Structure 1
Amino acid sequence: MMMMQEQGELCFPLLANTSCRRTQRDPSTVALSSILLSAISLITVTLNLLVIISISHFKQLHTPTNLLLLSLATSDFLVGFLFLFQIFLLDGCWFFGDLICIVYYVLDYVITSASIGSMVLISVDRYIAICDSLHYPIKVTLIRVQICLFLCWSASIIFHCLCFLDSLKQPDRSNTCVGECVIVVTYAVGITDLFFSFIGPIAVIVILYVKVFAVAVSQVRAMRSRVGIVRLRGKTIMSSELKAARTLGVVVVVFIVCIMPYFCIAISGQDVMLNASSSAFIICLFYFNSCLNPLIYAIFYPWFRKSMKLIVTLQILKSDSSQMNIM
């Protein structure tokens, strides 16, 4: 009897021979962790919902750049809901079935990949706006951005469904007992995902932003030389575009820092088994980034602060609220 208590209670008492056992943890620690995870999830969902409502509702915000931010906010919003599942994994028991377990992990991969894809598109948008500003209105249109985002999300879904096709067909193939939620990431899948979702996109982001900020440095130097506007290759670069590049640059850097731990594990060159305990810090760090993005918008974007005020005070319920000037 003492041995049973030391090992922990069964997740499913009626399945004594096949059930996993609960992880023994201090009740106060579990309660504190549950409150913390719930708070982060609620904040993440609420803040990103404000971003989604703001960009979707106000006509003045219907720009290609903001459409990319909308895609990023949507992925962050979904992350907030996924974060809730971490609460149920605190004691090591999964109660939603093997199929939902695999779907949970696949969605995690899909959202991560789609977020990185959105970051790449944001970098391309800023590169064209800064380095080819004359042709920006022609090259970057709402329709083209919508097509790019559709392809980005579709490619992410198809790619990761193919990577984990065997697990989707046989959800319990990696579980050793009932109530366990485990997915095995093989070396081949890990390396493929590493190049598809990290090395390739991050390389593009870094190269583009190096060029963008090289132009920014040129403008600063010219302004110090008492030249109000910098002209490069016959194109005029406005300070508002550089401010947007700076803000989105902060978003990109914070995102890279938060997703780096997982891909460092993938680079280790061995099969990695991700479960509730081994991936807790990695998942929480990635999820916390989704909470940070709206805070960055609030710091750097006056329109977001103004739209938040209009939403919270329910002024958006007015018939002509979508036409309000919030810039």
Structure 2
Amino acid sequence: MAEGILVLRVIKTIVGLLGILGNALVCLVIYKVTSMHTTTNYFIFNQATIDFLGSVMLLLSSNIPVPVFLADNFGGNLLCRLWISDFFLWSFFTSSTLNLVSVTFERYVAIVFPFQHGVIYGTVPVRILIAGVWIIGMASSFYDIAFYAVISGSCQSVSVPGSQAIGVMIFLLQYFLPVCAMLFAYVHIMVVLKRKAVSVGPQPVTVSSGSHPVDTMERSLLRARRNTLKTLVIVFATYVGCWSMNAVVFFMFNFGYPLDFNGAVYIVSVALVASNSCLNPFIYAVKYRQFRRGFRIVFGLPVTNEDFGNSSTAN
């Protein structure tokens, strides 16, 4: 399966480069455009930062050769357990998942419980949440350190006591529970937005046709929230599409499925997970009006009515 490994290396290299460029651009736009300094965009900025570092690790791990022979000493085991095991790469991947959950529930509270949003997502709580995303992402990947060791001069995965239970826990915490929680949040958000759209009423033909300014503001806010929501739903759907195969295969592996780590199934599943780190910037560029407007402002391009209108992400 040398050809498959080579293909995976090429894919990781391309994805790494695209992820570095795309996520750096997202960070630049949010940082430079003051109107984008909102709670939602802080989480999007954090997402892009995590994915940027994940893309860097993806690029490096795919192109830096490892020694053919590893000595069974402190240095050899450190290289095996931290670098060859992709500990940092999967830590960033997990942090990215947790941040996606965070931004989902930030939108959930903003739309479903708007009066509590300012308290729940104040400056200090947001900073704690963002820090927690990084810390938990790193902590939840520490199983790599235990699951790898130098054996006969090479870095190999090993069986440890309770590995099956750990595998199930990882599947639940890193994939199944986040997906279920986000799915619940998005469904409830859509129900609430639909109710609010009905209560506001249909869009008037003109502002001067007797509509109240408050109604116009409410409609504009609803459209802005819908645009942000549509963007995040696409990000969520992309995440599910990229992660599901690897999560299911890993889950089955812990129950005795004969997984070939050099086989096509595993290689394709890892390639899909890797691609997730570079796709979000393209989604923002196509669907997120506020990002498109910010991009035009940063690079001195004319702002179109489509990009400017209803682009607020007000809570």
Q: Is the 8 A contact 2:81 2:146 kept in 1?
A: no
Q: Is the 8 A contact 2:167 2:250 kept in 1?
A: yes
Which whole-Å CA distance do the structure 1 matches of 2:120 and 2:45 have between them? 20
| Candidates 283, 286, 295, aligned match of 2:273 | 286
1:16 corresponding residue in structure 2: none
Range with bigger deviation, 129-138 or 32-41: 32-41
Give how far 1:138 is off. Answer: 3.2
TM-score w.r.t. the length of structure 1 is 0.71
2:54 corresponding residue in structure 1: 79
Q: Is the 8 A contact 1:125 1:140 kept in 2?
A: yes
Structure 1 pair 65/24, CA: closer, same or farther in 2 (3 Å)? closer
Equivalence map 1:235-314=2 (5 Å): 238-268=222-252, 269-270=254-255, 275=261, 277=263, 279-309=266-296, 311=298
Q: Does 1:53 align with 2:39?
A: no
SS at match of 2:141: helix
Give how far 1:184 is off. Answer: 5.9
Give how far 1:211 is off. Answer: 0.6
Q: Is the 8 A contact 2:197 2:222 kept in 1?
A: no
SS at match of 1:238: helix
TM-score w.r.t. the length of structure 2 is 0.74
> Match of 1:297, as an amino acid?
Y
Range with bigger deviation, 199-208 or 34-43: 34-43
Q: Is the 8 A contact 1:184 1:274 kept in 2?
A: no
Question: Structure 1 stretches of 5 or more lacking a match?
Answer: 1-22, 315-325
Give how far 1:147 is off. Answer: 0.7
Structure 1 pair 183/309, CA: closer, same or farther in 2 (3 Å)? farther
| Candidates 156, 165, 168, aligned match of 1:191 | 168
Question: Structure 2 stretches of 5 or more lacking a match?
Answer: 71-75, 205-210, 302-310
- Quick one: percent identity of the two aligned structures? 18
Question: What is the root-mean-square deviation in Å for CA atoms of aligned residues?
Answer: 3.6
Q: Does 1:40 align with 2:9?
A: no
Range with bigger deviation, 184-193 or 204-213: 184-193
Q: Is the 8 A contact 2:54 2:277 kept in 1?
A: yes
Q: Is the 8 A contact 2:43 2:99 kept in 1?
A: yes
Q: Is the 8 A contact 1:110 1:160 kept in 2?
A: yes
Aligned residues: 278
Equivalence map 1:107-126=2 (5 Å): 107-126=88-107
Q: Is the 8 A contact 2:19 2:55 kept in 1?
A: yes
Give how far 1:224 is off. Answer: 6.9
Which whole-Å CA distance do the structure 2 matches of 1:62 and 1:253 have between them? 25
Q: Deviations over 1:236-256 (max 9, x none)?
A: 963212221221111111112
Higher percent of residues as helix: 2
SS at match of 1:270: coil
